[in-house]
Every structure is written in structure tokens, then in C-alpha cells.
Amino acid sequence: MDLVTSPFFLAGLFFVVALVYSSVGLGGGSAYTALMAIFGVNALAIPMVSLSLNVLVTSVGSLNFIRNKHARIRLVLPFLVSSIPMAYLGGSLQLPKKVFYWILLISLVFVALRIYIWHDTAVKLNISRNGKIMISLLAGSILGLVAGIVGIGGGIYLIPLIIILGLGTEKEAAACGAIFIWLNSFSGLLSRFQHNSINLTDYIPLMAAVLAGGALGSFIGSFRLSPRTMEKILGAVIIAAIILLSRRVIMS
């Protein structure tokens, strides 16, 4: 593993990310990619590692949400129809390092905007059923492609979108977010195992950390934590990654 710091230090950070994000149905892929970019993980390894971590975190989260009967398959199905094949396509792409960093940079900018600006989901749009299905299919395809390419599951966008479209409650949206991230991360990861595989044994400390954090976070939910506050702190990490990636892209 090509890191400028101890993998165990990074594992500690990933534990916190997984704990907080899993409490609201997210996998933490945006924060994983940001941290790996900051600490010098090989650009070719970042998508596969991030997708693997997303699968681990949301596996536990999905089971907990399904067990508590918050999951609605009919709600998330339109998003999955278009996202799963696009995630597989994204995972099969072997992009040049600079192109990958540009896509990652743009993705992280949108994540930062989502955290600091587009966080109020109190407003709901009055859209017809067919309109909601079309938006779901379009959003699913975009989020699936990004998931496969850079390892960001897309749940951070999907959850508020479900609420804004008036498709479900916050708990149902969180459950759908976990299922959405799991399936798309698995699809992208499967494609990368076939086309762009790397040795994941070096990243076992990170996997153990997110598995523990994801199990704890999804169990306690958002009742004993302040996910909004922690999300802002993690957003600061993403902004730092944006700055560092911008310098790297410009200088390369």
C-alpha cells in the first residue's frame, strides 16, 4: 500500500467515517476516496478499495434497516434498474490517472456542495408519477456510473432526492440509500475484479475498521450521535482533498 502515513492511523479515521455515515444509511465512499487521495493511496487502487469498503459498511446497514422494516424495494427499484448496469460499466473503465482525478475532483465538489449547501430536504417537489420515475432512472444511471469509476456510492445524493421527491420518509430513504450503495458498489466491484483488479490484502486494516464502525453506526442509528455535525467535519476533509487534488491535477 502506497501511503505517506501508517495504514493503522488511516484505519482509525475510516472507523469514525463508517460509524457516522452508516448511522444515516450511507457507506462513506466520498470520505474514503477523499482520505485516500490525501494520504497518497495509488490512484488505480482507490476505486476498488472504496467500493470494497462501501460493500462492507452497507452490508451491515442494509441488514439492520431491513430487519427493522424500513426498506421498501419498490421505492429504490427504479434507481437500481439504471444504476446497476452503469456501475458495472464504470468499474470496467481503466481511465488515465489525470482523467480519474478530474472525475474524482468533480465528484468531491458535488459532495461538498451537498454537505454545506444542499442539506435542507424540507421542500418537496410536486411531480407526477411518470416524472418521478424518469428522474429516478436518470439519477440512478449517473450515480451508478460514478460509483463504478471512483467508488462513491451515491447515497449522499439519493437519500435527500427521495425525500424531496416525496417518495418516502427519512428512515425509508436511509434504508434505500444503504441498499442502493451496496448493490451498486457490488456491481462496480465485480466489474473491477474482472477488468481492473488489485491485491486487496494490503487494505485489510481498513476493511476491519469500516466493518466495525459500520456495524456500530447502523445499530445505534442517529439517536446517540449528531450525524449533521460530524458530516460537516468530514466535509472539511473532503474540501482539503479538493484543494490537494486541484494542485495535483494542475501540476500534472
Quote the radius of gyration of the chain (alpha carbons, Å). 17
Residue 4: alpha-carbon gap to chain centroid: 24
- Average pLDDT rounded to a whole number, residues 176-203: 85
Band (248; pLDDT cuts 50, 70, 90)? confident
Phi–psi pair at 11, nearest 5 degrees:
-60, -35
Block residue for cell numbers 444542499 = 118
Band (124; pLDDT cuts 50, 70, 90)? low
Residues 128-140 have pLDDT tens digits of: 878 888 888 998 9
| d(C-alpha 114, C-alpha 28), whole Å | 14
Contact by Cβ (8 Å): 166, 122: no
Residues 4-63 have pLDDT tens digits of: 456 788 889 899 888 877 776 677 888 888 888 878 788 888 888 888 888 888 787 677
pLDDT score at 208: 92
Residues 78-96 have pLDDT tens digits of: 899 999 999 999 988 878 8
